[in-house]
């Protein structure tokens, strides 16, 4: 019985640290995918409006970003003066 508990404990010690590392990887992948989506929406905005968006609010207000996308995007990115998506510092 003690041997079984020892083996289970060792397996847990090996598995649990790996699970934590996957959360960071998943977050990075999600942010990268969101960046691609928003850049695509910026390009679509430019094609439809024949101008670049000045702010993320322009994209959201004209229906190019959903409410959930907008709330996440404004935390991570901004649009520069040339209309390109830029990561905020610290991300």
Residue range 8-40, pLDDT digits in tens: 888 888 877 777 777 778 888 999 999 999 999
Structure tokens at 20: 């934590």
Q: Is residue 71 part of a domain?
A: yes
3-state secondary structure of 58: helix
Q: Is residue 78 part of a domain?
A: yes
Q: Is residue 6 part of a domain?
A: no
Q: Is residue 4 part of a domain?
A: no
- pTM summary value: 0.72
Please answer whether residues 30 and 44 qualify as being in contact, where contact means their C-beta atoms are separated by less than 8 angstroms. Answer: no
Tokens 């929406």 locate to 41
Q: Are strands 77-79 and 85-87 parallel, antiparallel or unpaired?
A: antiparallel
Q: Is residue 66 part of a domain?
A: yes
Q: Is residue 22 part of a domain?
A: no
Q: Higher model confidence: residue 73 or residue 13?
A: 73
Please give the tally of structural domains in the chain: 1
């Amino acid at each position: 019985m003690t041997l079984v508990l020892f083996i289970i404990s060792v397996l847990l010690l090996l598995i649990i640290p790996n699970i934590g590392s996957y959360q960071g990887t998943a977050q990075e992948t999600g942010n990268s995918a969101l960046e691609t989506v928003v850049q695509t929406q910026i390009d679509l905005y430019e094609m439809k409006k024949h101008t670049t968006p000045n702010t993320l609010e322009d994209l959201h207000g004209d229906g190019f970003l959903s409410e959930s996308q907008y709330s996440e995007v404004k935390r991570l990115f901004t649009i520069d003066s040339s209309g390109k998506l830029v990561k905020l510092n610290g991300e």
